[in-house]
Amino acid sequence: MLNRRLFMAAACATLALPSSGFAAQGLKLAFIPQENPEKLLGDIKIVTGWLTEQLGVPVTGFVTFDHAAAVEALRNGDADISFMGALPFVLAEDQIGAIPLLSEVYRGQPSYAGRVFVRRDSGIKTLADLKGLDIAFADPVSESGYLYPLDLFVRDGLIADAPDADNFFGQKFFAGGYQQAMQAMANGLVDAAGASQYADLLLTPEQQAEVVVLAESEQIPSHAIIARPGIDADLQSRFTLAMLRLNDAENRHLLAYLYGPDGYVATDPAVYEGVRATARRYGYLK
Amino acid sequence: MKHLFFSLILCLFPIAVNATAIEQAPWEPRAAAYRLTLFLGNLNPTPWDKLESSWTAPVPGSALPVSALSRVTEVESADIREALRTKDRQALFEASTTAISGGILRHLDAAETALGTSSGAEPEIAIAEALFRAFEDGIAAADASAAKEIGRAWLVLNSSVGSAGLLGNGIEDPNTIAFAEAKSTISDYVEQNYLLAEFTPRSKLTPIPESIFVSGVQVDLPATLPPGSDIADQREFPRLVLQFEEAGEDEANLPLVAYGDMLFDSPEIFGGPAQELGITCSTCHNRSDVNRDFFIPGLSHRPGGMDVDSAFFNPMFNDRTDDHLDTPSMRGIRFTAPYGRDGREPSLRRFVRNVIVTEFAGKEPTPFQLDAMVAYIRQFDFLPNPKIDRAGLLTDLASDAAKRGEVLFNTKFAGLDDKSCASCHTPSRHFRDGKTYDIGTAEPPFPGGTPTAFETPTLRNVNFTAPYMHDGSLPTLASVVDWFDSTKNLGLNADQRADLTAYILAVGDGEEPYQHFEGTDSVFRLSWEELTTFASTLDTLLPAQDAENIALLVATVAPDLAADASAMTNQAAKPDVYEFAAILRAVGVASAAGDWHEANRQWNAFKIRQAEIDERMF
């Protein structure tokens, strides 16, 4: 039986143009919005300009409304490539057969974790101590800023599933980002924060000394650069190689225009197995 | 020490109290202009040209390269422009405060309208919150309960917008009731404190809420620097050459020097805003050289210096002149007396005292503290330069062009009063002569007045001290040669000017001008080694039961250790540093209590722990 993923891949393959056609059209990149969308527009110009030089074909970029819009753009051919987190990637993989090409590297690793942070002087020693207390997460669709920190409570048997969190915590907030969640915790507005592994570095050095890690999740593959199925194989390969050249000393300054990783490594679908399992447990994947 | 230039810290708050230098997150353009207005508006005299450009042009520290006025309403813009035109400080405060508060309310309204729509409320909330940041530290300092209530309201606001979910999963509808309540909490406070028909006149412009200001309650508002300020270390970190170290001696064996090194890195010796902001000697004089990234909008005309006698750091010594000074390098300073551009201080000791007390409002340093600082500073050597010998003559490593230039450098010119360049920049005296001259670079202070004469600067390591001349008016050494050629009628042709430039570049060179960090040889490792060396002076201070200097050392080193941990490559070892810093604090507590047995016990624990964790400190 043709499942949805294979069907979409087959459909895209059927519609795929010859290689020369792709080269003429160039490459279209979809960017996921960040905190400063206007700055992102400027960044995209710089990045696509560089890629155009490197690939010898026109490279354009645009900011999508959200992950769903990016996946839709990949599905209908409005985008060839998209930047995407690990969880939306496995959903995109499921829905349209998206292909992972590259993974961001931070502090030498292509993966990171979600953590639960508390103030050093809070007296909170275990996740169970947070029953009835307030927590700030980053965003309801964030892996390291919500799902994975929340999963720590599930694994400890403190909550049954995501909706049950409201029965465990006093109040559960979504602060709007890692930094906002961490500041809310550090400033005493809430008792704990669920955020990414290095979110404490978003606090002042003085605040960092006053914060401790209560728990850490399993590793999550870093944000990925993914391609739509049916993308011209040669162009995909050249794009991947060009992106890997961002690791070279003379190009590293361009990383600041790409969400600021330390670099990129090539990735493959196997590293996302843990994310797929988590997505299935929370009903994101059937 | 403040070595956080490689860290990724983006602080939402302004650079503030006792903060190790960190990079601020970019500001919303209006908020950036507002905070710059508060800072500039408190300088004396008021720099109206800078105030105007802070609203009409993009400002440093702004998230976007647009003017703040492009983001306000026509009415708000007209009010701000009128205040600028009439140079009415209070009116500018009121108009700009109104523009920020009005913007917050408009974006909150827009967020409410966008709830549940495809465009979403989040972008509008983000802008409203970015504008609110302009007031945030004022509320936190003046009205803690309101700050907490409003902080929670922002959390509720962000949490009640619902979620579009992730590709069809986890869709949540907005909670319009919770949103409206939270919005009301924020809006009401903003309206009551920042959106008023009339404000009480303020002698000092601050973001303190009007209701608290009117009440007369004394508010301890932390000192802050405006958006775009950069007081972190230079990204390309200068190399420090200490004479004893190059000769193989360990600083830990030289307690007076080590203590002076600590004082050079201590904000505790300064007073006022400098101390609050964590500014130290090394903030500007990175590793005996210069921090050429240092920049404070309003005080600096360009990176690498500032007006040190403005109204900000020490109002008592405000000279009411916007006179930016490029920070001088301190390399080889023991050989370059007298001190100050005009050579006004013959003694290094007096010059150091002047910086502490006059420029940065510190208490009078003790004789011991001055002894220590001078002992340390006197160890600064020039970067070694194999292109010259000890007499200042070119070696075989210099180019032919430089050697031709050496002849020109020693040639007498009529335009130089029948002297040569070498007459003042004497090669055998480190290319200076210790005298002051009026060479026509400064204007008289008034018609008929006497222009300032400037001390002959050394040419050692001059390749790394651009821009040149007392006012930084010449960007390159070639332009300096051109300036002398034209103003002193030297009559040099292009080849000769190139040769003379090549000569100066040869004598001004230096080996390995910048520190190299790689792997475990990290920025934090350097801090770790320095800070533990500073602490080693306790081996001398504890037997002497010198509680005063122990307190100063602990107040400097313990917070720096903890703060610098945030820049560790090995983040996993960060908790070790916090624990280690706590042991040092315990030494300070026991010393202050006169419990010398406990102080010594904790000091021994410190040394044992240092050895245990040393390997992972990078």
Q: Where are the domains of chain A?
A: 21-109+222-281, 114-218
Interface check B578 vs A, CB under 8 A:
yes
pLDDT digits (tens, 9 = 90+) for B538-590: 999 999 999 999 999 999 999 999 999 999 999 999 999 999 999 999 999 99
Q: How far apart are CA A127 and CA A149, in angstroms?
A: 10
Q: How far apart are CA A45 and CA A34, in angstroms?
A: 15
Domain locations along chain B: 29-215, 243-377, 400-507, 523-617
- Among residues A271, A263, A242, the alpha carbon closest in space to that of A81 is found at A242
Residue of A204, A252, A281, A284 to mutate, testing the B interface (most B Cβ within 10 Å of its Cβ): A204
Which residue of chain A has the CA closest to B16? A204
- Among residues A249, A135, A285, the alpha carbon closest in space to that of A195 is found at A135
pLDDT digits (tens, 9 = 90+) for B384-434: 999 999 999 999 999 999 999 999 999 999 999 999 999 999 999 999 999
* Contact (CB<8Å) B571/A65: no
- Among residues B283, B228, B296, the alpha carbon closest in space to that of B3 is found at B283
The single-letter code of the amino acid at B501 is T
What contacts A18, CB < 8 A, 6 or more positions away?
A: none
* Contact (CB<8Å) A204/B19: yes
Which residue of chain B has the CA closest to A202? B9
Q: Are B133 and B28 in contact (CB under 8 A)?
A: yes
Q: Are B455 and B342 in contact (CB under 8 A)?
A: yes
Residue matched to tokens 């008592």: B316
What contacts A111, CB < 8 A, 6 or more positions away?
A: A103, A219, A220, A221, A222, A271
Q: What is the mean pLDDT of chain B?
A: 95
pLDDT at A15 over 80: no
Q: How far apart are CA A165 and CA A190, in angstroms?
A: 15
- DSSP string for B348-403: HHHHHHIIIIIIT-PPPPPHHHHHHHHHHHTTB-PPP-TTB-TTS-B-TTS-HHHH
CB interface of A with B, residues 46-65, below 8 Å = 65
Q: How far apart are CA A266 and CA A280, in angstroms?
A: 25
pLDDT at B491 over 70: yes
- Among residues B125, B191, B110, the alpha carbon closest in space to that of B160 is found at B125
Q: How far apart are CA A177 and CA A140, in angstroms?
A: 10
CB interface of A with B, residues 98-137, below 8 Å = 107, 136
- Residue ranges in B269-347 assigned as alpha helix (H): 272-276, 281-284
CB interface of B with A, residues 26-65, below 8 Å = 26, 63-64
What contacts A153, CB < 8 A, 6 or more positions away?
A: A127, A130, A159, A165, A168
The encoded tokens of residue A118 equal 């508390």
pLDDT at A5 over 80: no
Q: How far apart are CA A192 and CA A155, in angstroms?
A: 18
Helix (H, G, I), strand (E, B), or coil: what is residue B380? Answer: strand
pLDDT at A37: 67
Q: Are A182 and A203 in contact (CB under 8 A)?
A: yes
For the domain spanning A21-109+222-281, the CATH number is: 3.40.190.10
For residue B581, which residues of chain A lie inside 8 Å, CB to CB? 209
- Among residues B518, B516, B616, the alpha carbon closest in space to that of B570 is found at B616
Which residue of chain A has the CA closest to B579? A209
Q: What is the percent of chain A where pLDDT is above 90?
A: 82
Across the range B49-66, mean pLDDT stands at 96
pLDDT at B46 over 60: yes
Element (H, E) at B326: strand B325-326
The strand pairing partners of A82, in sequence order, are A30, A226
CB interface of B with A, residues 416-475, below 8 Å = none
Q: A27-31 and A81-84: which strand pairing?
A: parallel
The encoded tokens of residue A219 equal 């590793």
Residue of B125, B155, B576 to mutate, testing the A interface (most A Cβ within 10 Å of its Cβ): B155
For residue B18, which residues of chain A lie inside 8 Å, CB to CB? 206
pTM of the model: 0.90
The C-alpha angle B293, B299, B303, rounded to 5 degrees, equals: 20
Helix (H, G, I), strand (E, B), or coil: what is residue A162? Answer: coil
Give the distance from residue A163's alpha carbon to the nearest chain B alpha carbon, in angstroms: 10
Helix (H, G, I), strand (E, B), or coil: what is residue B383? Answer: coil
Q: How far apart are CA A280 and CA A286, in angstroms?
A: 6
pLDDT-based confidence at residue B333 (cuts at 50, 70, 90): very high
Size of interface A-B (CB pairs under 8 A): 123
List the A135-137 sheet strands across, edge first. Answer: A172-174, A135-137, A192-196, A111-119, A211-221
Element (H, E) at B306: strand B305-306
pLDDT at A134: 98
The single-letter code of the amino acid at B224 is T
For the domain spanning B400-507, the CATH number is: 1.10.760.10
pLDDT at A20 over 70: no
Q: How far apart are CA B163 and CA B171, in angstroms?
A: 5
Provide ipTM, 2 decimals.
0.88
Q: Are B282 and B560 in contact (CB under 8 A)?
A: no
* CB atoms near residue B301 (< 10 Å): 17
Q: Are B372 and B548 in contact (CB under 8 A)?
A: no
For residue A187, which residues of chain B lie inside 8 Å, CB to CB? 148, 151
Q: How far apart are CA B427 and CA B395, in angstroms?
A: 13
Task: Give the CA distances from residue A12 to residues A72, A96, A101, B188, in Å, rounded to whole numbers and listed in that order.
Answer: 13, 9, 18, 54
* Contact (CB<8Å) A175/B158: yes
* Contact (CB<8Å) A107/B571: yes
pLDDT-based confidence at residue B456 (cuts at 50, 70, 90): very high
pLDDT digits (tens, 9 = 90+) for B367-380: 999 999 999 999 99
Whether cis (ω within 30° of 0) applies to the bond prior to B467 is yes
Which residue of chain A has the CA closest to B122? A176
For residue B159, which residues of chain A lie inside 8 Å, CB to CB? 172-175
The single-letter code of the amino acid at A201 is L
pLDDT digits (tens, 9 = 90+) for A221-270: 999 999 999 999 999 999 999 999 999 999 999 999 998 899 999 999 99
Burial class (CB in 10 A: 0-12, 13-18, 19+), A2: exposed
For the domain spanning B243-377, the CATH number is: 1.10.760
pLDDT at B338 over 90: yes
For residue A174, which residues of chain B lie inside 8 Å, CB to CB? 158-159, 163
For residue A203, which residues of chain B lie inside 8 Å, CB to CB? 9, 11
Q: How far apart are CA B182 and CA B128, in angstroms?
A: 13
Q: How far apart are CA B197 and CA B190, in angstroms?
A: 13
pLDDT at B379: 98
Interface check B354 vs A, CB under 8 A:
no
Give the distance from residue A207's alpha carbon to the nearest chain B alpha carbon, in angstroms: 9
Considering only the C-alpha atoms of chain A, give the largest distance between any 2 of them, rounded to a whole number of Å: 64
- Of A65-79, A116-130, B459-473, minimum mean pLDDT range: A65-79
CB interface of B with A, residues 135-174, below 8 Å = 148, 151-152, 154-156, 158-159, 163-170, 172
pLDDT at B179 over 80: yes
Element (H, E) at A113: strand A111-119
Closest partner residue to A91 among B119, B166, B571, by Cβ? B166
* Contact (CB<8Å) A136/B155: yes
| Terminal-to-terminal C-alpha distance of chain B | 15
Across the range B53-71, mean pLDDT stands at 96
Residue of B20, B117, B131, B166 to mutate, testing the A interface (most A Cβ within 10 Å of its Cβ): B166
- Residue B245 backbone class (left: φ over 0; alpha: ψ -120 to 50; beta: rest): alpha
pLDDT-based confidence at residue B22 (cuts at 50, 70, 90): low
Overall size of chain A counted in residues: 286
* CB atoms near residue B464 (< 10 Å): 17
Whether cis (ω within 30° of 0) applies to the bond prior to B201 is no
For the domain spanning A114-218, the CATH number is: 3.40.190.10
CB interface of B with A, residues 190-209, below 8 Å = none
Report CA B222 to chain centroid distance, whole Å.
16
Interface check B9 vs A, CB under 8 A:
yes
Closest partner residue to B155 among A65, A184, A208, by Cβ? A184
The encoded tokens of residue A37 equal 């969308």
Q: How far apart are CA B371 and CA B259, in angstroms?
A: 10
pLDDT-based confidence at residue B9 (cuts at 50, 70, 90): very low
What radius of gyration do chain B's Cα atoms show?
Answer: 28
Give the distance from residue A106's alpha carbon to the nearest chain B alpha carbon, in angstroms: 11
pLDDT at A4: 34
Q: How far apart are CA A201 and CA B7, in angstroms?
A: 8
Interface check A161 vs B, CB under 8 A:
no
Q: How far apart are CA A92 and CA A98, in angstroms?
A: 6
